């Protein structure tokens, strides 16, 4: 789950109210490169909006085989993440502007019509890739771009092109982004466990990234349940975890209206059913409701 502390559209309060309405047993807010949402949860008036369990989490950028990825940190101390993250990670704004500026150069060199002053977004918390794609596709004469890239939406475009070293629209973020060992080390120093999320979203690089992480880097678990996974992909990951002794996690990747086809906890068209028992052998539930204040 992502809040408006990163690229989600909902506040922490809104997230908790929706989780309670859906009667979810457990949630984790895994904002990109921050744990600021957990400061809100220190307020019991906010925390008691949700009666279920909370696992502290975050999603940190890294790079493997030239592909920008994320690594999930669970059970982390949120204040250690908040204090240390700027030492290893670029800000969302820095990455955002680097991608927009580089992509703008690529697009103009390819001869497409695009107006720089019409690319409107807040680089601190709004997607630059969405803004630049919207401006590009606003012009009918750019229809060849849609055909050339098999464009469907900005998320697929990001995975298949912006983060794909084999694409002419590739944006090299490697000078800005830490390698997995640095990211995993921070997660461990914060008392957490490192998980591989959304394995299959990296297109043709997916399995290369997956095996690089499992063969070379000290990850603890794998996200086996995800909104965009097929039943076959879920089973492959479950079998892999069982055979190789990895912890299992799951998540809907809820972003609010930013990803309107994904519902909290249940994924796309209710395709997601994450069993609570997968967390029993690794999760530490934090920010429990203070019942003394209820008396």
| Beta bridge pairs of residue 57 | 74
Q: Which long-range contacts (CB under 8 A, 24 or more apart) does 257-265 make?
A: 257/9, 258/2, 258/7, 258/8, 258/9, 258/127, 259/155, 262/227, 264/1, 264/15, 264/18, 264/19, 264/22, 264/24, 264/27, 265/19, 265/22, 265/24, 265/27
Please, which residues have CB within 8 angstroms of residue 234's CB and are 6 or more apart in sequence? 224, 225, 226
Tokens at 166, concatenated: 């084999």
User: Which has the closest alpha carbon to 197: 210, 180, 178, 215?
Assistant: 210
User: Which has the closest alpha carbon to 81: 26, 10, 30, 13?
Assistant: 30
Ranges of H-type helices in 110-224: 128-137, 143-149, 154-157, 180-189, 206-216
The highest-level CATH class for domain 12-89+177-294 is alpha beta
* pLDDT for position 249: 99
- The boundaries of every CATH 3.20.20.140 domain in the chain are 12-89+177-294
In 229-274, DSSP assigns E strands to 247-251
Q: Which of 118-122, 184-188, 201-205 holds the top average pLDDT? A: 184-188
**Above pLDDT 70, what percent of the chain?**
98
Range in 16-20, 130-134, 191-195 with the lowest mean pLDDT: 130-134
Q: Which residues of 226-253 are buried (b: 16+ CB within 10 A; e: fewer)?
A: bbbbeeebbeebbebbeeeebbbbbbbb
Q: Give the confidence band of 295 by pLDDT, cuts at 50, 70, 90.
A: very low
Of the chain, the end-to-end C-alpha distance in Å amounts to 31
Reported as a single tens digit per residue, the pLDDT across 199-245 is 999 888 899 999 999 999 999 999 999 999 999 999 999 999 999 99
Q: Give Rg (Cα) of the chain.
A: 19
**Can you tell me which residue has the tokens 């101390």?**
77
Q: Give the confidence band of 125 by pLDDT, cuts at 50, 70, 90.
A: confident
User: Which has the closest alpha carbon to 36: 6, 9, 14, 8?
Assistant: 6
Torsion of CA 74, 79, 80, 82, to 10 degrees: 90
**Can you tell me which residue has the tokens 């921050």?**
34
Average pLDDT, the chain: 94
What are the Cα distances from residue 202, in Å, to 66, 198, 199?
Answer: 11, 8, 7
**Residue 230 near residue 267 (C-beta atoms within 8 A):** no
* pLDDT for position 258: 87
**Three-state DSSP state, 274:** coil
Which run of H or of E encompasses 94?
Answer: helix 92-109
Rounded mean pLDDT, 140-156 = 90
* pLDDT for position 229: 97
């Amino acid at each position: 789950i992502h809040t408006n502390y990163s690229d989600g559209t909902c506040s922490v309060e809104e997230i908790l109210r929706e989780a309670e309405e859906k009667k979810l047993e457990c949630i984790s807010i895994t904002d990109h490169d921050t744990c600021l949402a957990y400061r809100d949860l220190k307020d019991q008036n906010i925390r008691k909006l949700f009666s279920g369990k909370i696992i502290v989490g975050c999603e940190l950028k890294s790079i493997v085989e030239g592909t920008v990825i994320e690594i999930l940190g669970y059970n982390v101390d949120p204040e250690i993440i908040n204090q240390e993250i700027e030492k290893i990670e670029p800000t969302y704004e820095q990455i955002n502007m680097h991608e927009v500026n580089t992509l703008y150069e690529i697009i103009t060199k390819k001869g497409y019509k695009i107006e720089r002053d019409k690319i409107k977004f807040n680089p601190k918390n709004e997607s630059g890739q969405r803004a630049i794609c919207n401006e590009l596709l606003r012009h009918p004469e750019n229809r060849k771009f849609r055909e050339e890239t098999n464009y469907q939406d900005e998320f697929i475009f990001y995975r298949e092109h912006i983060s794909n070293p084999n694409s002419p629209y590739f944006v090299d973020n490697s000078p800005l982004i830490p390698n997995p060992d640095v990211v995993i080390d921070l997660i461990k120093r914060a008392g957490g466990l490192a998980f591989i999320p959304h394995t299959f979203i990296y297109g043709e690089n997916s399995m290369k990234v997956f095996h690089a992480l499992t063969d070379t880097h000290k990850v603890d678990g794998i996200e086996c349940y995800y909104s965009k996974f097929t039943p076959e992909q879920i089973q492959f990951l479950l079998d892999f975890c069982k055979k190789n002794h990895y912890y299992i996690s799951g998540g809907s990747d809820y972003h609010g209206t930013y990803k309107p086809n994904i519902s909290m906890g249940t994924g796309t068209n209710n395709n997601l059913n994450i069993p609570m028992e997968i967390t029993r052998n690794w999760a530490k539930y934090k920010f429990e409701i203070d019942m003394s204040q209820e008396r």
